[in-house]
Amino acid sequence: MDQYIDIKVRVWRQAGPKAQGHFETYDLKHVFQGASFLEMIDILNEQLVAQHKDPVTYDHDCREGICGMCSMYVNGHPHGPDSAITTCQLHMRKFKDGETITVEPWRSRAFPVIKDLMVDRGAYDKIMQAGGFVSVNTGGVPDANAIPIPKPVADEAMDAASCIGCGACAAACKNGSAMLFVAAKVSQLALLPQGKIEAAARAKAMVAKMDELGFGNCTNTGACAAECPKSVSLANIARLNREFLAAKFKD
């Protein structure tokens, strides 16, 4: 049964990209455990606004775990201490009365802090722009049922495609690698006949862009998949490596 709890929230405050950041601890009394984690931050912000202080800036939008906007490190874990969820799906019943909760922004060189808990994830968009698509224009495409695709293949592509681009994988990785994100897109499209044609070029272009943007290398530690809110599988990274090597051999 959900109770009311008193907590302390230790939040990373940083006025701007170049400002010196620091932790600030706030007391929050009488927080209902049925509230979501972001609703708790809302309560904190209402409290700060009432004191005419600057509220905590953080990214959030759909609050049902699909937009990929929320991006908080809670008690040392991207999206917090629960598996297969985003921060917005985390509830206060995961925390105890009297607990101090530490909240930080994504930790990754490629995701610089904009303010407080808000980071710039534009690097993921740039990787997508380098090759995360099938080169077809609107119109003039064949009938949707012209090419049958085996159900297991379609299902596997769907699992890879469920990535929400939140950045937890890169934030969780000790090397700051975006491999799981890149692998998910490369896999999805390489599995499907529509995407196969450009598979090699895509893998090369996306990996090159990832390297260029300052993401680290993959050393197969698996932290990314463990923290991924959509449970995107490490098998995708193996597939990306295959696609990438095959492309290099062809060169």
Partner 1 sequence: MAKKEEILDAAKKAAEVIKEKVEQVANDPQVQEVVAAAKEKATEMAEKVAETAQAVAEEIQARAEKVAERAEVKEAVKAATEAAQKAGKAAKAAAEVMATPSEKNVKVITPEMAKIPAGPLELKWTNYKNHQKLVNPANKRRLDVIVVGTGLAGASAAASLAEMGFNVLNFCIQDSPRRAHSIAAQGGINAAKNYQNDGDSVYRLYYDTIKGGDYRAREANVYRLAEVSNNIIDQCVAQGVPFAREYGGLLDNRSFGGAQVSRTFYAKGQTGQQLLLGAYSALSRQIGKGKVKMYTRYEMLDIVLIPDENGEKRARGIIARNLVTGRIERFFAHAVVVGSGGYGNTFFLSTNAMASNGSAAMQMYRHGALFANPCYAQIHPTCIPKHGDFQSKLTLMSESLRNDGRIWVPKKLEDAKRLQAGEIKGRDIPEEDRDYYLERRYPAFGNLVPRDVASRAAKERCDKGFGVNNTGLAVFLDFSDAIQRLGKDVVAQKYGNLFQMYEKIVDENPYENPMMIFPAIHYTMGGIWVDYELQTTVKGLFCIGEANFSDHGANRLGASALMQGLADGYFVLPYTIQNYLADQIGVPRMSTDLPEFAEAEKAVQDKIDRLMAIKGNRSVDSIHKELGLIMWDFVGMGRTAEGLKEGIKKIDAIKKEFWTNVYIPGEANSLNNELEKALRLADFIEIGRLMAVDALHREESCGGHFREEYQTPEGEALRQDDKFAYVGCWK
Question: Can you tell me which of 5, 11, 60, 105 binds partner 1, judged by CB under 8 A?
Answer: 60
Q: How many CB atoms lie within 10 A of CB 88?
A: 23
Task: Give the pair of three-digit tokens for residue 197.
Answer: 């044609």
Question: Can you tell me which of 149, 208, 235, 247 binds partner 1, judged by CB under 8 A?
Answer: 149
Question: Can you tell me which of 8, 96, 122, 217 binds partner 1, judged by CB under 8 A?
Answer: 122
Q: Which one, 151 or 250, has the nearer CB to partner 1?
A: 151
Q: Rule CB under 8 A: is residue 97 a binding residue for partner 1?
A: no
Q: Radius of gyration over alpha carbons of the chain, in Å?
A: 20
Q: Which residues pair with 12 in a beta bridge?
A: 23
Q: Which one, 76 or 150, has the nearer CB to partner 1?
A: 150
Question: Measured between alpha carbons, how far is 244 from 221 in angstroms, rounded to an integer?
Answer: 19
Q: How far is the CB of 163 from partner 1 (least distance, A)?
A: 9
Sorted by sequence, the CB contacts under 8 Å of residue 54 that are 6+ apart come out as 48
Q: Rule CB under 8 A: is residue 133 a binding residue for partner 1?
A: yes
Number of residues lying near partner 1 (CB under 8 A): 75
Q: Rule CB under 8 A: is residue 93 a binding residue for partner 1?
A: yes
Residues 73-92 that bind partner 1 (CB under 8 A): 85, 89, 91
Residue pair 93/34 in contact (Cβ under 8 Å)? The answer is: yes
Q: Which one, 52 or 249, has the nearer CB to partner 1?
A: 52
Q: Rule CB under 8 A: is residue 194 a binding residue for partner 1?
A: yes
Q: Rule CB under 8 A: is residue 188 a binding residue for partner 1?
A: yes
* 115 sits in which H/E element: strand 113-115
Segment lying near partner 1 (by CB under 8 A), choices 96-104, 141-149, 211-219, 234-242: 141-149
Question: Measured between alpha carbons, how far is 19 from 120 in angstroms, rounded to an integer?
Answer: 15
Residues 14-53 that bind partner 1 (CB under 8 A): 32-36, 38-39, 42-43, 46, 48-50, 52-53
Segment lying near partner 1 (by CB under 8 A), choices 5-13, 135-143, 169-177, 234-242: 135-143
Q: Which one, 38 or 169, has the nearer CB to partner 1?
A: 38
Question: Can you tell me which of 18, 76, 98, 148 binds partner 1, judged by CB under 8 A?
Answer: 148
Quickly tell me which residue has 């077809």 as its tokens. Answer: 136
Q: Which one, 161 or 213, has the nearer CB to partner 1?
A: 161
Q: State how far the alpha carbon of 218 is from the alpha carbons of 8, 9, 122, 164, 180, in Å.
A: 36, 33, 20, 20, 9
CA 84: distance to chain centroid?
12
Task: Give the pair of three-digit tokens for residue 142.
Answer: 């064949």
3-state secondary structure of 77: strand
